Amino acid sequence: MVSDPQVPGEARRPVFAAERRQRILELLRANGALSLRELAQAVRSSEVTVRRDLKALAAEGLLNRHHGGATLPGDLTREPTHAQKAQVASAEKLAIADLAASLVEDGDAIVVGPGTTTQAFAARLGRFSELAVVTNSLPVAQALAAYPRIEVVLTGGTLRGSILALVGSAAEASLAGLRVRRAFLSGNGLTAERGLSTPNMQVASVDRALAAAAEEVVVLADHTKIGVDTMVQTVPAERIDHLVTDENAPAEVLDELAARGVRLHVARL
């Protein structure tokens, strides 16, 4: 869901390019990153028009363009909090969680990384009668706490309060030597060129350790993250086996990822 900074009830269409571009910047400040489709819907203009607006604003250094959307300058290092991320694309995340759960089988051992999408995914695992889950995410562990037949192992580490995850050398050390079937990871951005990325180096290090413990890597990413790049690479595209995303993800980026061997699973809303 796009957070719109307009006065409630105002639904007028911007008439002038300057006004429309100002609204685009306001929407990005409210949401962080938005797809071309979301911006076009929010400002009630065509995607062709908004694409021209993004090009003009990028030339002025007011935003960063990427495949299928835009972010504000500095978003390479911007790390939204867990609470902020929970307000973005909530319906899409639930659909992704439902589809991702189909990649789990009874008897599996898996690792699950931090994030609001992985938290929703964890909440779908209660139907399994035998499962071992290793995680550095407090919300993921909490989502599984009510199911006695699921063994939950929390890594050690230092709490990063903004994302409610354990990071640092202790977290990485607790993952060393583990071997599980699949790692279910999220992140802040996913491109074909750099794969999965996050703004924080400590978070990235633990994500890499989670991926290294698994035979296959499954990335859970809604459309607002597809085509977005952030500062620190966690998993290159060639190491990603599955991507579970939603139907609003930009097709050109999905095609590029598929060409690199990523198997696509697209959740329908």
Domains of the chain (ranges, CATH numbers): 17-71 (1.10.10.10), 82-267 (3.40.50.1360)
On whether the CB atoms of residues 204 and 164 are closer than 8 A, the answer is: no
Measure Cα distances from 131 to 144, 169, 179, 192 in Å.
Answer: 11, 26, 14, 32
pTM: 0.75
Q: What are residue 117's phi and psi, to 5 degrees?
A: -70, -40
User: Six-digit token pair at 182?
Assistant: 């699949």
Beta strand 263-267 with 158-160: parallel, antiparallel or unpaired? unpaired
Output DSSP code: residue 165: E
Question: Over the chain (269 residues), what is each successive 10-residue block's mean pLDDT?
Answer: 49 69 84 78 90 88 76 61 68 95 97 96 95 97 94 96 93 94 94 91 94 98 88 92 95 94 95
CB-neighbour burial class of residue 75 (10 A; exposed 0-12, middle 13-18, buried 19+): buried
Per-residue pLDDT at 242:
98
> What is the 8-class DSSP label of residue 90?
H
Round to whole Å and give the CA distance between 130 and 157: 26
Please give the single-letter amino acid code of residue 15: V
* Contact call for residues 162 and 81 (beta carbons, < 8 A): yes
Which amino acid, residue 180? V
Of 241, 233, 246, nearest in space to 261 by CA: 241
Q: Note the pLDDT of residue 11.
A: 45
Angle between helices 36-43 and 47-59 (to 10 degrees): 110
